[in-house]
Amino acid sequence: MLNTTQTSEYLKKYNFLLLFVILLMISSAFSPNFLTIQNLLNIWQQSSILGVVSIGATFVILIAGIDLSAGAVVAVSGMIVSLAATGNAGLVLGVILAVTCGIAIGLFNGLISTLGKVPGFITTLATMSAGNGLALIITRGKPIYNLPASLQFLGGGYVGSLPLMGIIWVVLSIIAGIVLKWLPFGRHVYAVGGNSEAARLSGIKTKTIAIIAYTVSGFLAAIAGILLAGWLTVGYPTSGGSLPLESIAAVVLGGTSLFGGIGGIGGTFIGVLMLTIITNIFNLLGFSSYFQMIGYGFIIILAVFLNKLISPG
């Protein structure tokens, strides 16, 4: 039997699961179509882009960092793969170039924020602005149409009745979860986020860990950009949108502390689903996107409030 203190600790640690169950109950009560197989598959697919970006955001937030450039990386990588796939370079080279670009931006963020000692917020805000401008320059602000079927399959294809994009998100989440829970690098990520100075004194290369975390975020944002271009069947230079803020909200809503050292991929997965469910139920009820924006705002406020509950002190 759990005593009162243990119960309180479990509620603080896993409050996102309770909130998720409540959200499912409310959504199913409001709409009889919510729990249908087709709608649940739609939610899974619609969550995937944000989900992939949020995995990278989890790594950065766990070290008490922040990455606002993910949306720009999504836009730039989407433009690169779209141009390559519709040109002579081809899809494979386009994917390689897009991923390389994402890794380079993430590496730059890590180097500047650690070796340059520039706060991650400022560094990634700068690369966000530069990246968004680069995406527009690459295509002169125009969408790229006539994407090949192979690229469209990556973002919008199905394996049987399951969305390929959703499968990719789940696989990446499992890999990231294993890395954070079972590998030394993952333990070092938590150590750096929990107490960077103590981690350094214990022999952990804190700067290297931070650089890798930002690089992982850039890599995953590039993957999301490739998938998004295929899903939309059009390469949009402004496709990154609000993904950085949404991913931060999803990560924190899933129990990861903005102060670092607490949280994980499982919580992020649930946080992403919760944000997508908000949009989904509003669509089922026929509410406009304006109401969805209000709902997102309340969710973000709730995420910050829950974050305070799990934060030390």
Q: Which domain holds residue 61?
A: 38-241
Residues in the chain: 313
- For residue 236, what are the contacts with CB-CB under 8 A and spacing of at least 6? 75, 78, 143, 229
In a domain, 304, yes or no: no
- Structural domains in the chain (count): 1
**What are the structure tokens assigned to 242, written together?**
């609000």
pLDDT tens digits, one per residue of 172-223: 999 999 999 999 999 999 999 999 999 999 999 999 999 999 999 999 999 9
In a domain, 302, yes or no: no
| CA-CA-CA-CA torsion sign (124, 129, 130, 134) | positive
- For residues 136 and 287, which has the higher predicted lDDT (pLDDT)? 136
In a domain, 224, yes or no: yes
In a domain, 58, yes or no: yes
Between vectors from CA 141 to CA 101 and to CA 168, what angle results, nearest 5°? 45
User: How many other CB atoms are there within 10 angstroms of residue 151's CB atom?
Assistant: 25
Q: What is the mean pLDDT of residues 264-273?
A: 94
Residue 6 predicted with pLDDT over 80: no
- Determine which of 13-17, 60-64, 249-253, 273-277 has the lowest per-residue pLDDT on average: 13-17
Burial tier of 305 (Cβ tally within 10 Å: 0-12, 13-18, 19+): exposed
Residue 50 predicted with pLDDT over 90: yes
In a domain, 75, yes or no: yes
- Determine which of 167-171, 224-228, 239-243 has the lowest per-residue pLDDT on average: 239-243
**What are the structure tokens assigned to 192, written together?**
């750096």
pLDDT tens digits, one per residue of 287-304: 777 777 777 677 667 766
pLDDT tens digits, one per residue of 55-86: 999 999 999 999 999 999 999 999 999 999 99
In a domain, 209, yes or no: yes
Three-state secondary structure of the chain: CCCHHHHHHHHHHCHHHHHHHHHHHHHHHHCCCCCCHHHHHHHHHHHHHHHHHHHHHHHHHHCCCCCCCHHHHHHHHHHHHHHHHHCCCCHHHHHHHHHHHHHHHHHHHHHHHHCCCCCHHHHHHHHHHHHHHHHHHHHCCCCECCCCHHHHHHHHCEECCEEHHHHHHHHHHHHHHHHHHHCHHHHHHHHHHHCHHHHHHCCCCHHHHHHHHHHHHHHHHHHHHHHHHHHHCCECCCCCCCHHHHHHHHHHHCCCCCCCCCCCHHHHHHHHHHHHHHHHHHHHCCCCHHHHHHHHHHHHHHHHHHHHHHCCC
